[in-house]
Amino acid sequence: MATDRPFEELNLWQRIFLENWDKFAADYRQEHGESAPAHWQENVERMLSCGDIREGYYEYYCQDCGAMKKVGFTCKSRLCLRCFKVTVDEWLNQAKKVLFEGVVHRQVVLTVPKVIRPLILADEDFLKVYMDAGAKAVKELVEEWRRKKKIRVGIMAVLQLHGRAGNQNPHLHFVVSEGGIDKDKTWREVNYFDTKKLRKKWQYHVITALRKAIMGTEYETEWHGKLGSMFRQYPTGFDCDCMPESGPVERLVVYLCKYVSSPPISIRRIEGYDGQNVTYRYEDHLKGPMTETISAVEFIGRMIRHLPPKGFRMVRYYGIYARPIREKIHALVAGALKALVKRAEAMVQYFVKKLGRSSDTPASVDGADRSGSKVTEQFSKGPLRCPECGSVKMLLVRIWSKEAGMIYDIVKDGKNLVSGLGSLPMTKTENGGQTCCQMALAI
């Protein structure tokens, strides 16, 4: 893949893709008889242009020393290691609006045997069936716990397509409320999760749903019998894990949403690249720290196969967290939720006293900030600093786009709107020499 961008501007991640993407695309075409998916190519091109000021930029003026700084537009590619923090912020804000405040949540992880994974990844319809089947198994487990009460919990589902090594391993993470609404519209606490029962339910629902989904498709002949044999081969059901969360739910949400917002690796984990091979490390659940060296082409394959089909929702909500239901019941359980919030605050104060902190200091238990502030700080943008003096008094003076031209300019009608910007270059338009944007920045 060619680019006119100066080589020194590219980070290590971008260089690997720039130098090896054409070889990967050619190998993919030879192996599969067709070109690599269009959304893969699109994400690679966007990632390589991330931060390139020739594509567009924000220009800032330092009000202390007068220096100018241009910041290139972000690309918002799912492959970009620079942009994922913004996406995580967006997911976190959305989750905060959905998950009921003060409610304890539990993480439930559901997986399937390796033999089924290629089918799940073969079509986006199968991915949705996969997520729906997992949610159905969890809801049914809770409903059967107190059949007469008919309790409905809230579920946030996150689909992860890869393992820690970047290998293909579609599995599900569910954030499940340990409480729900019963048939009388009363809030009930739920802390029951029978793993043995859930294994069987998960197996039944995912196999049944997939067998139904492949009917009449090209996959039916190959997979109908294979899926049916899974009950005999796995008599105790499919793997699952249910883990109570002791910290704030924001921490769990950020942990999960990183998987759907960024590649399955960080630059820190890439230990070497010689132009042909990549060495990187990861943490294996069973073996511990691992280091592996593979060809750059194989590395790209591992990293890019986690990209979901364009428009596919990797995060979904079920039960009382489904939008229509949540909006109806929120007012009904407001009182109960306030009581839960007070209980959570009382727990924070208990640990504050136990750890000998002042009441003004955010309590931290097991390294987790109960107020969620550390989560916010970690994934929020810091202040823009001047490259010359380090000042944070940076004033936005221009926005320029390659496609749209000058979108915003603080200079108007040939006169500076801010004192001290006498040397600020003028930007002309095509119609009469005036500045493009007629908006003045409020100071």
How is 93-150 classified by DSSP, letter by letter?
HHHHHHSPTT--EEEEEE---GGGHHHHHH-HHHHHHHHHHHHHHHHHHHHHHTTTT-
CB contact at 8 A, 270 and 280 = yes
Supply the pLDDT for residue 308: 81
Supply the pLDDT for residue 434: 34
In a domain, 33, yes or no: no
Do residue 153 and residue 246 come from a single domain? yes
Distance from chain centroid for Cα 192: 28
Supply the pLDDT for residue 359: 45
Neighbours of 201 (CB within 10 A): 23
Question: Which domain-ending residue is among 314, 334, 354?
Answer: 334
pTM of the model: 0.72
How far is it, in rounded angstroms, from Cα 354 to Cα 438?
A: 59
Do residue 324 and residue 408 come from a single domain? no
Do residue 111 and residue 185 come from a single domain? yes
In a domain, 25, yes or no: no
Do residue 145 and residue 240 come from a single domain? yes
In a domain, 255, yes or no: yes
Question: Which domain-ending residue is among 334, 362, 383?
Answer: 334
Do residue 321 and residue 415 come from a single domain? no
Reading the block at residue 316, the tokens are: 């979904």
Do residue 90 and residue 232 come from a single domain? yes
Q: Which helix (H) or strand (E) holds 280?
A: strand 277-284
Q: What's the sign of the alpha-carbon dihedral 212, 127, 93, 364?
A: positive
Question: Which domain-ending residue is among 334, 361, 385?
Answer: 334
Reading the block at residue 158, the tokens are: 């996150």
Task: List CB contacts of 295: < 8 A, sequence separation 6 or more.
Answer: 276, 277, 278
Q: How many domains does the chain have?
A: 2
In a domain, 12, yes or no: no
Do residue 422 and residue 277 come from a single domain? no
Residue ranges of the alpha helices (H) in 262-401? 296-304, 323-329, 334-354, 373-379
Do residue 290 and residue 432 come from a single domain? no
The label of the residue with tokens 């910041």 reads 71
Instruction: Quote the domain boundaries for residue 432.
Output: 395-443
Supply the pLDDT for residue 424: 52
**How do the pLDDT tens digits run along the chain, 443 residues long?**
666 665 556 788 889 999 999 999 999 999 989 999 998 999 999 888 888 888 889 999 999 999 999 988 888 887 887 776 777 777 777 777 788 777 888 889 999 999 999 999 989 999 999 999 999 999 999 988 888 888 889 999 999 887 766 677 889 999 998 888 888 888 888 877 889 999 999 999 999 999 999 999 999 999 999 999 999 999 999 998 887 766 667 777 777 777 666 677 778 888 999 999 999 988 877 778 889 999 999 999 988 887 888 888 888 999 999 887 877 777 666 666 665 556 555 655 655 565 555 444 433 333 333 334 443 333 334 578 898 998 988 998 999 988 888 888 886 434 444 444 444 544 433 333 333 333 333 32
In a domain, 407, yes or no: yes
Supply the pLDDT for residue 1: 66
Supply the pLDDT for residue 168: 77
How far is it, in rounded angstroms, from Cα 416 to Cα 394?
A: 17
In a domain, 326, yes or no: yes
In a domain, 419, yes or no: yes
In a domain, 213, yes or no: yes
